[in-house]
Amino acid sequence: MTLLKDLMMLRKITVAAFAMGSLLSLSSQAVASEKLTVLLDWFVNPDHATLVVAKEKGFFSEQGLDVDLIVPADPNDPPKLVAAGKAELAVSYQPQLHLQVAEGLPLTRVGTLVATPLNSLVVLKDSPIKSIADLKGRKVGYSVGGFEDVILDAMLEKHGLDVSDVELINVNFTLSPSLISGQVDAVIGAFRNFELNQMDIVKKPGRAFYVEEEGVPSYDELILVANNQNVADPRFPRFLKALEQATIYLINHPQKSWNLFIKAYPDLNDELNRRAWKDTLPRFALRPAALDEGRYSDFADFLKAKDLIKETGDVSDYAVTIK
């Protein structure tokens, strides 16, 4: 009789455990259905490697998130759509954040993807321009007016020049072709991980002057922004944890990560993206949630000094650490 009671008790425990496991499984599935939309800044490219790896390797899923990476129809729209409550997160740029906050957009930086500038001034490798000072009287191509010319002015100022000493030409995002064709002598706004590789592939190698070495405060190139009203979203800490896991995996396993990337986006399996992948790896933020307040404060001071913003404001008003 005692043995029978023990067997019945064991059966009840087993059934209860099975039921509990089923409930936990259902609960896990429910959590996994939490969607989160991230608007990219541009078409998918190696700058987005950590996001793609986090999705394809399953790090987002492990955090109970179903993340959609959306390519924008217009690269100018993502921060504005987040500000309007149309998406949870957008990939943006630290300089752009300062300017848009000054314009009144309710945006806050909640994470970092690329923690160094990618922007650079590029000339042909065999160009007679060996120093920024050699730009005097030369033609400089740009794509985004109102910011790139300010960056250029800061670089020129370090060498005793200003933008009036060069001829600015809007080349409408055809930076490398304009330089290679001889339309301009230099271009500002060239991403060092792409344009230099693009030029090298067509046997017209370039040489870069890095903005952070030529009078411009260092800044985060790619960041994640959210609406001010949503910074306490409980999905964000899990999202950033998954992003950090993806970054660590990417750094430790670059080839396996590349394979995940091109499996998801096979059209990107070409020489330019392979090279850009390698050159972008050391630029990723190892701690995406971490915030360097001094960096943001310094860049705000720089923009104010250049009359791009009227007030610097408190960093906490537009950049936070998500915990």
- pLDDT band, residue 85 (cuts 50/70/90): very high
Domain contains 112: yes
Helices (H) and strands (E) in the chain, counts: 12, 10
Q: Are 54 and 60 in contact (CB under 8 A)?
A: yes
CATH of the domain at 89: 3.40.190.10
Strand order in the sheet with 186-191: 167-170, 139-142, 186-191, 119-124, 206-210
| Arithmetic mean of pLDDT, 276-280 | 98
Q: Is residue 1 part of a domain?
A: no
Check whether 5 has a pLDDT greater than 60.
no
118: Cβ contacts below 8 Å, ≥ 6 apart: 47, 191, 192, 193, 221, 222, 283
Side-chain half-sphere of 121: how many Cα atoms within 13 Å? 31
pLDDT band at 215 (very low <50, low <70, confident <90, very high): very high
Report whether 95 contacts 149 (CB < 8 A): no
pLDDT band for position 176 (50/70/90)? very high
**Nearest-angstrom CA–CA distance, 152 and 186:** 11
Q: What is the mean pLDDT of residues 111-132?
A: 97
Inside any domain, residue 23: no
Tell me: do 196 and 278 sit in the same domain: no
| Residue at token pair 């250049």 | 306
Residue 267, pLDDT > 90, answer yes
- Mean pLDDT for the stretch of residues 229-235: 97
pLDDT band at 4 (very low <50, low <70, confident <90, very high): very low
* DSSP of 223-241: EEEEEGGGTT-THHHHHHH
Work out the average pLDDT over 53-81: 96
Q: How many CA atoms lie within 13 A of 300 on its CB side?
A: 21
The pLDDT, as a whole number, for residue 22 is 44
Per-residue confidence at 33, pLDDT binned at 50, 70, 90? low
Mean pLDDT of 15-28: 43
192 plus 273 within the same structural domain: no
Asked if 284 and 222 count as a contact pair (C-beta separation under 8 A), the reply is: no
Q: What tokens appear for 15 in the block?
A: 């059934």
In whole angstroms, what is the distance from residue 89 CA to residue 79 CA? 8
- Mean of pLDDT values over 147-170: 95
Residues 90, 123, single domain; the answer is no
77 falls within a domain: yes
Based on the domain organization, do 247 and 127 belong to the same domain?
no
Per-residue pLDDT band for 14 (boundaries 50, 70, 90) equals very low
Residue 319 DSSP one-character state: B
Res 1 pLDDT > 90: no
pLDDT classification of 172: cutoffs 50, 70, 90:
confident
pLDDT greater than 90 at residue 263? yes
Instruction: Identify the H or E element spanning 121.
Output: strand 119-124
The model's pLDDT over 293-322, given as tens digits with 9 standing for 90+, comes to 999 999 999 999 999 999 999 999 999 999
Quickly tell me which residue has 């217009």 as its tokens.
74
Whether residue 145 is predicted with pLDDT greater than 80 in this model: the reply is no
Number of domains, the chain? 2
Task: Name the residue range of residue 74's domain.
Answer: 34-116+220-307
- Ramachandran region, residue 247 (left: φ > 0; alpha: ψ -120 to 50; beta: rest): alpha
Name the more confident of 56 and 145: 56
Q: Are 88 and 35 in contact (CB under 8 A)?
A: no
pLDDT value at residue 72: 95
The per-residue pLDDT for 27 is: 43
Cβ–Cβ under 8 Å, residues 240 and 155: no
| Domain match, 197 and 263 both | no
Q: If you average pLDDT over residues 74-98, what whole number do you get?
A: 96
